[in-house]
Amino acid sequence: MRTKPPNSNSRSGQLTFAGRITGARQSAATARLLAFTRAELLVVLAVLALLAVVVLPAFANLRPRSARVICANNLRQIGMGFQLWGNDHDDQPPWEFPVEQGGTKLHPLGVNAWLHFAWISNELNSARVLLCPTDSGRVAEDFSADPNGGYLHPNYRNLATSYFLTHAFYGASSAMFAGDRNLGVDGVGNCSRFPQVYFVNAWLPSFGWDTNLHHQAGNVVRLDGRVNQYSNEDLRAATSTDPISDDGQNYSLHILKPR
């Protein structure tokens, strides 16, 4: 017996079709409820623009701050290197000992900052710590004379060095002896430790950092290993209380700058 095919106009067919229509209408209504109105979209765009104005400058400031932290860590490692060298030399840096006693005092190449840093190469973990990340110099990979990354090669040396050296505090444990090379100078002259130095007059209003590395700020390391981050005002205040010379009255620093 043949079965009669279902009639497309049957009640069950009509209900199914109606159900589909109802479902479609409900979906459209739900979509309208979930969609942004024009006013809401404008509000969201305004909030995003405000966040960009507030957040992006903060991210832009992260790099200089991070670079300065790395720079301070470099100086901390340099300080430890000089401390290790000093353990066998009366707790003094190389420029306090003449060449015949294993130091760099008045060494023929002692006018170059790189020589004194290279003198403690065995005490440093890496030549890379001698360059600040904000410096425009060249990063040395090791202490060899390799033209492709060797600190002792003329392609690098002072170009791979970001820090000055000074002896003006005469070896006190709190002495500032190295720091960022962006310290302003006042003249050139002779010295009892280095063949030639820059003079820095700490009592002058111009005494302070320039903008080459850290935007009128800088880092210094002391013989006891402490690293200080100074603005110009902080640097002047700290220097005014430090024993810069034998009698504590002369505030002229003798410093070696790599460039």
Instruction: For 135-159, write each residue's pLDDT tens digit.
Output: 999 999 999 999 999 999 999 999 9
Pairing of strands 176-180, 187-189: unpaired
- Calculate the average pLDDT of the chain: 81
Tell me the pLDDT tens digit for each residue of 73-109: 999 999 999 999 999 998 888 999 999 999 999 999 9
pLDDT at 12 over 50: no
Q: How confident is the model at residue 11 (pLDDT cuts 50, 70, 90)?
A: very low
pLDDT mean over 116-139: 95
pLDDT at 40 over 90: no
Please give the pLDDT value at position 126: 95
- Cα 256 from Cα 115, distance rounded (Å): 11
Please give the pLDDT value at position 122: 95
- Cα 24 from Cα 8, distance rounded (Å): 20
Q: What are phi and psi of 140, to 5 degrees?
A: -90, 140
Between 141 and 28, the higher pLDDT residue: 141
Tell me the pLDDT tens digit for each residue of 171-196: 566 778 899 999 999 999 888 899 99
Please give the pLDDT value at position 64: 57
- Cα 230 from Cα 86, distance rounded (Å): 26
Mean pLDDT: which of 4-18, 141-155, 157-171 is highest?
141-155
Q: How confident is the model at residue 212 (pLDDT cuts 50, 70, 90)?
A: confident
pLDDT at 114 over 70: yes
Determine how many CB atoms are found less than 10 A away from the CB of residue 107.
19
DSSP 8-state secondary structure symbol assigned to residue 83: H
pLDDT at 238 over 80: yes
Between 156 and 25, the higher pLDDT residue: 156
Please give the pLDDT value at position 113: 97
Q: How confident is the model at residue 222 (pLDDT cuts 50, 70, 90)?
A: confident
82-91, 106-115, 232-241: least confidently modelled range = 232-241
For the chain, domain boundaries: 45-256
